[in-house]
Amino acid sequence: MSAAAPRSVIIAGATSGMARACAAVFAREGYAVALGARNDEENERIANDLRVRYGGTAAAIHFEAADFDSHEGFLTACAEALGGEAGGLIYFAGTMAEQRAAEQDFTLARTMIDVNYTGCVSLTEAFARRCEARQAGFIGLVSSAAGDRGKQSNYIYGSTKGAMTVYAQGLRNRLFKSGVSVTTVKPGFVDTAMTFGMKLPPALTASPEQAAEAIFRGVVRRRDVVYVLWFWRYIMLIICAIPEWQFKKMGM
């Protein structure tokens, strides 16, 4: 096992709006960055931009969230590009189909499950083993406030994020004695391609840059849970406190 590369991070799912912004924050702060994405051309453009703007290491490496057998090889490629095992992993890979479409077409639901949850577990478990071996590291899993309570408007997507949240809780408990931190990130509304076309309330919506700064702070400070924006913690507390007999009548 190669030694850990100092101040380095893997961004899995690097071409999303939040992931790009987060990669830029890490690069700005002096971290070497390995970018994992399935769109090789776009991924290389992002890496080139980071190298030009910040002058550090930024490597573009092919990553398929739903190709579970490739995940060990992906981590090995990242370690080679970074000059040692990555200090951290942030899992951004995710997809969101429209709820009604996913109800009618299980292939859409299956894709969300495979990318949002199963791919997360597959890659993160492989990375966690490497962290345990050296008794150091950090992991950030980008879940969602939508996973805090099942709502008829997006319950299939929300269930994949709820599963990720529970997974992160258990992983955090497991890795605590190894000195490895696990941060669950729960964005509310974020203005990205995934939410394009939705009528989002401006006061409740974060920019990708705001989300990236919050994620970076939360991960490096080894927080357990980070809501983006911060007030979503209290919004979801209220929503989760509504009795089920009342909640099912509300049409959320």
What confidence tens digit (pLDDT) does each residue in 43-101 have? 999 999 999 999 999 999 999 999 999 999 999 999 999 999 999 999 999 999 999 99
Structure confidence at residue 4 as a pLDDT band (50, 70, 90): low
Percent of the chain with pLDDT over 70: 92
Structure confidence at residue 33 as a pLDDT band (50, 70, 90): very high
Residue 193 pLDDT exceeds 90: no
Residue 228 pLDDT exceeds 60: yes
If you average pLDDT over residues 149-160, what whole number do you get? 95
Residue 2 pLDDT exceeds 80: no
Gap between the Cα atoms of 156 and 115, Å rounded: 13
Gap between the Cα atoms of 239 and 158, Å rounded: 14
Task: Please count the CA atoms within 13 angstroms of the CA of 49 that sit on its side-chain side.
Answer: 14
* Among 164, 153, 152, CA closest to 124: 164
Residue 197 pLDDT exceeds 60: no
pLDDT at position 194: 57
Structure tokens at 198: 């939705």
Q: Which of the two residues, 63 and 202, has the higher pLDDT score?
A: 63
Gap between the Cα atoms of 209 and 17, Å rounded: 9
Gap between the Cα atoms of 95 and 108, Å rounded: 9
Name residues whose C-beta falls within 8 Å of residue 226's C-beta, 6 or more positions apart in sequence.
Answer: 183, 184, 185, 186, 214, 215, 217, 218, 219
Residue 104 pLDDT exceeds 70: yes
The dihedrals phi and psi of 231, each to the nearest 5 degrees, come to -75, -10
Domains parsed from the chain with CATH numbers: 8-247 (3.40.50.720)
Average model confidence (pLDDT) across the chain: 93
pLDDT at position 252: 73
Task: Please count the CA atoms within 13 angstroms of the CA of 225 that sit on its side-chain side.
Answer: 17
Residue 24 pLDDT exceeds 60: yes
- The model's pLDDT over 205-218, given as tens digits with 9 standing for 90+, comes to 888 999 999 999 99
